[in-house]
A and B are shown apart, each in its own frame.
Chain A
Amino acid sequence: MRLQLGIAVTHLLARKRQTLVSLSGIVLGTAFFLAVSALMQGSEKDFIKRLVDNSPHITVSDEYRGADIQPADMKWPDAAVNIRSVKPQTEVRGIRGHQQKLAFIESIPGLRVAPALTGSVVLTFAGRIQGVSLTGLVPESMREVSSIEEKMIEGSLEALNVNPNGIIVGIGLINKFKLAMGRNVTVTTSDGVVRSMKIVGIFRTGTANYDETQTYALLKKVQSLLNRPNRVNRFVIQLNDPNKARDVATIIEQRIGYKSVSWLEASEDIMSLLTVRNVIMYSVVTAILVVAAFGIYNTISTIVMEKTRDIAIMKSMGFHASDIRLIFLSEGLIVGLVGSLLGILLGLGLMWILDQVTLPVSQFGGPTHLPVYRGQRQFFIAFGFAMISAIAASYLPANKGGRVHPVDILRGSM
């Protein structure tokens, strides 16, 4: 092996320019793969983090996935039953027996849960009107499952306990209504209940629509406003491991019957877009490395052609076909190895440069730097891609070299 490696290195060093061209292809392919994937992965992770941080990992709502089974269907399960003009029974919306269901969810390890009652209300102030979503919450438990406390720019969730008539609104609404902390707004429900509530907190999430249309108040206050005493219509759940959301949501839904939606399910369209983005990225980078592989193929093919006589001599000396194959495969391996290692170094350099790029701070916050992610997996993929390309590119010429019959060459040389 050492002998074959020595010959391979000598061949490559004797053709410095060709070797450098092949090497450059692998170096640039690997480096660009790393830089692009770091940016793509970084932005994906940043996006998912925002998604996970800003929304519940699981939301249990007072809905069912399928339509209610009609008594006729239960009576004749195998018959073709056609029931027309089914009118659902009028009922007070909300999760029935929510205390027991809450207790069950709390018994599942690795999660935190908070009950909430959300309804639509209209906010009016100085002649301006805005339909908003009002969520009734228990500050102590909501703090455990939501990052809303971190998004508060004025006041706090705790202020709701101090002032039960308080309301927390987003910066978007504040700007739209030209409001300020301590001002009163009028809240009107669909049942015509009108209350005046005092602004005790302002939050900013960075999502304009959210900051304009979401409001928070005490759970008991909202229950009273919406005329749903002792009712909740949502459980907001946060998991220690957000990746388990789908499994935990299934368990909860199977047990309590209400629709449990994980953040993955809720964002399925976005996640599939991210997958498409990744496929595009990997396709482009694979194309770069395939082009680089052609460079290696070209170099090693040329060496094999130039060295046909040497191959014949080595075989006449007693080298096996496998020794010859090993020499040329080693050349591909060396180019692949050195190229991918230099590519990783260059890739790290490019990542550092990307790290230095600063973005103007948006009105709603957001990243001030490009999100560059340095995941081990990306380095392994880049290295693996480069090595596979190099080996594949050198395999054909190496095999051709191994098949050289010395007599054919020696006879031709005489």
Chain B
Amino acid sequence: MTTLLKAQSLVRTLPLTVPVTLVQDISLEIDHGEFVAIMGPSGSGKSSLLYLLGLLDIPTSGRLWLDGQETSGFDEDTLADIRLSKLGFVFQFHFLLAEFTALDNVMLPMRKLAKLSELQIQQRAEQLLKDLGMADHRHKRPDQLSGGQRQRVAIARALANDPLIILADEPTGNLDSVSSANVKEILRDLATHQGKTIITVTHDPVFAKAADRRIGLVDGRIDDQWVHPGLQK
């Protein structure tokens, strides 16, 4: 497998009155099709690291390569364009747009990218929802769906522009066990059968077990010795 994402000495410090360092000197490489779980205690900088890897946040120092392209120094619009075409996000709370139907939510990133015709966009969105078992619910708005269904729509939306990487921030954190298992299977399947790279932040040891690799994070640094209590033998 080849390296898709490479971080070198990433540091993120919030410039407050007393500066707060969220991520300290993190270097890592993630390959194509790899399923990586980032774990760690609360406040260890898991989400902050995910935002840096997902180009949502800009590191205070350090370098980051995505698909062979160094992203340091890119302006906000260029980073937004990369996010649109190469990355997909799934959050703990589904974050679907409340006034839009499931289908519209999935079509939104494709409409923004504007590489397909409106008909093709609709067909692809319907197919994605169908693949995730949401075909019958495509015309429902988020408030008419269950938590698990919303998260599946959010995954479909993340997949809309056929991204290289899906970044998920505690995607099962707000779901019951059945829905969690369902989301875990979907993400695992995306990595195994569709070659998508999955980077997820999770507290859930069962979900983390599905990952190819687990990265422990303590106080903003990678700690290879840290193991989630639920995964300790």
Any chain A CB within 8 A of the CB of B108? yes
| Cα–Cα, bound, A317→B55 (Å) | 11
Contact indicator B113/A318 (Cβ below 8 Å): yes
| Cα–Cα, bound, A318→B100 (Å) | 18
Any chain B CB within 8 A of the CB of A86? no
Contact indicator B80/A315 (Cβ below 8 Å): yes
User: Which residue of chain B is the closest to A12 with respect to CB atoms?
Assistant: B99
Among A36-44, A59-67, A403-411, the one that faces the other chain is A403-411
Q: Mark A321-340, 1 if CB is under 8 A from B, else 0.
A: 11100000000000000000
Tell me which residues from 53 to 68 in chain B have a Cβ below 8 Å from any Cβ of chain A: 54, 56-57
Residues of A within 8 A of B80 (CB): 315, 318-320
A interface SS class = helix
Any chain B CB within 8 A of the CB of A3? yes
Q: Mark B97-139, 1 if CB is under 8 A from A, else 0.
A: 1111000000011011110000000000000000000000000
Among B81-89, B209-217, B221-229, the one that faces the other chain is B81-89
| Residue of A310, A407, A411, A414 touching B97 (CB-CB under 8 A) | A310
Any chain B CB within 8 A of the CB of A309? yes
Any chain B CB within 8 A of the CB of A14? yes
Contact indicator A407/B57 (Cβ below 8 Å): yes
Contact indicator A3/B112 (Cβ below 8 Å): yes
Contact indicator B92/A414 (Cβ below 8 Å): yes
Residues of A within 8 A of B97 (CB): 7, 310, 313-314
A148 to chain B, nearest CB (A): 71
Contact indicator A321/B76 (Cβ below 8 Å): yes
Contact indicator B108/A317 (Cβ below 8 Å): yes
Residues of B within 8 A of A317 (CB): 83-84, 89, 108-109, 112, 157
Residues of B within 8 A of A321 (CB): 76-77
Contact indicator A414/B99 (Cβ below 8 Å): no
Contact indicator A316/B77 (Cβ below 8 Å): no
User: Which residue of chain A is the closest to B84 with respect to CB atoms?
Assistant: A318
Any chain A CB within 8 A of the CB of B74? no
| Cα–Cα, bound, A3→B77 (Å) | 17
Any chain A CB within 8 A of the CB of B91? yes
| Residue of B48, B56, B81, B85 touching A316 (CB-CB under 8 A) | B56
User: Which residue of chain A is the closest to B108 with respect to CB atoms?
Assistant: A317
Any chain A CB within 8 A of the CB of B169? yes
Q: Mark A1-29, 1 if CB is under 8 A from B, else 0.
A: 00100010011011000000000000000
Contact indicator B112/A319 (Cβ below 8 Å): yes
Residues of A within 8 A of B83 (CB): 316-318
Residues of B within 8 A of A414 (CB): 47, 92, 169-170
User: Which residue of chain B is the closest to A315 with respect to CB atoms?
Assistant: B80
Residues of A within 8 A of B56 (CB): 316, 406-407, 410
User: Which residue of chain A is the closest to B170 with respect to CB atoms?
Assistant: A414
| Cα–Cα, bound, A322→B80 (Å) | 11
Any chain B CB within 8 A of the CB of A85? no
| Residue of B47, B99, B108, B157 touching A11 (CB-CB under 8 A) | B99
| Residue of A13, A309, A318 touching B112 (CB-CB under 8 A) | A318
User: Which residue of chain A is the closest to B85 with respect to CB atoms?
Assistant: A318
| Residue of B51, B84, B99, B113 touching A407 (CB-CB under 8 A) | B51
Q: Which residue, of A7, A316, A406, has the highest number of chain B Cβ atoms within 10 A?
A: A316
Q: Which residue, of B100, B112, B170, has the highest number of chain A Cβ atoms within 10 A?
A: B112
Q: Which residue, of A11, A319, A321, A322, has the highest number of chain B Cβ atoms within 10 A?
A: A319
Contact indicator B91/A410 (Cβ below 8 Å): yes
Residues of A within 8 A of B99 (CB): 10-11, 13-14
User: Which residue of chain B is the closest to A321 with respect to CB atoms?
Assistant: B76
Residues of A within 8 A of B95 (CB): 309-310, 312-313, 413
Residues of B within 8 A of A411 (CB): 47-48, 51
| Cα–Cα, bound, A3→B116 (Å) | 14
| Cα–Cα, bound, A309→B95 (Å) | 8
Residues of A within 8 A of B76 (CB): 320-321
B176 to chain A, nearest CB (A): 19
| Cα–Cα, bound, A218→B14 (Å) | 99
Q: Mark B138-157, 1 if CB is under 8 A from A, else 0.
A: 00000000000000000001
Residues of B within 8 A of A319 (CB): 80, 84, 112
B4 to chain A, nearest CB (A): 18
Q: Which residue, of A7, A11, A323, has the highest number of chain B Cβ atoms within 10 A?
A: A7
A20 to chain B, nearest CB (A): 17
Contact indicator B89/A316 (Cβ below 8 Å): yes
Residues of B within 8 A of A316 (CB): 54, 56, 83, 89
User: Which residue of chain A is the closest to B89 with respect to CB atoms?
Assistant: A316
| Cα–Cα, bound, A11→B99 (Å) | 7
A411 to chain B, nearest CB (A): 7
List 7 A-B pairs, Cβ < 8 Å. Answer: A3-B111, A310-B97, A316-B56, A317-B157, A320-B76, A407-B51, A410-B56
Given contacts A313-B97, A320-B80, 19 further A-B contacts (CB under 8 A): A3-B108, A3-B114, A10-B100, A11-B99, A14-B98, A310-B97, A314-B97, A314-B108, A315-B80, A316-B56, A317-B89, A318-B85, A319-B84, A321-B76, A321-B77, A407-B56, A411-B48, A413-B95, A414-B92
Residues of A at the B interface (CB closer than 8 Å) are 3, 7, 10-11, 13-14, 309-310, 312-323, 406-407, 410-411, 413-414
Which 9 A-B pairs give the minimum distances between C-beta atoms?
A318-B84, A14-B99, A318-B83, A313-B95, A407-B57, A3-B111, A10-B99, A318-B80, A320-B77
Residues of B at the A interface (CB closer than 8 Å) are 47-48, 51, 54, 56-57, 76-77, 80-85, 89, 91-93, 95, 97-100, 108-109, 111-114, 157, 169-170
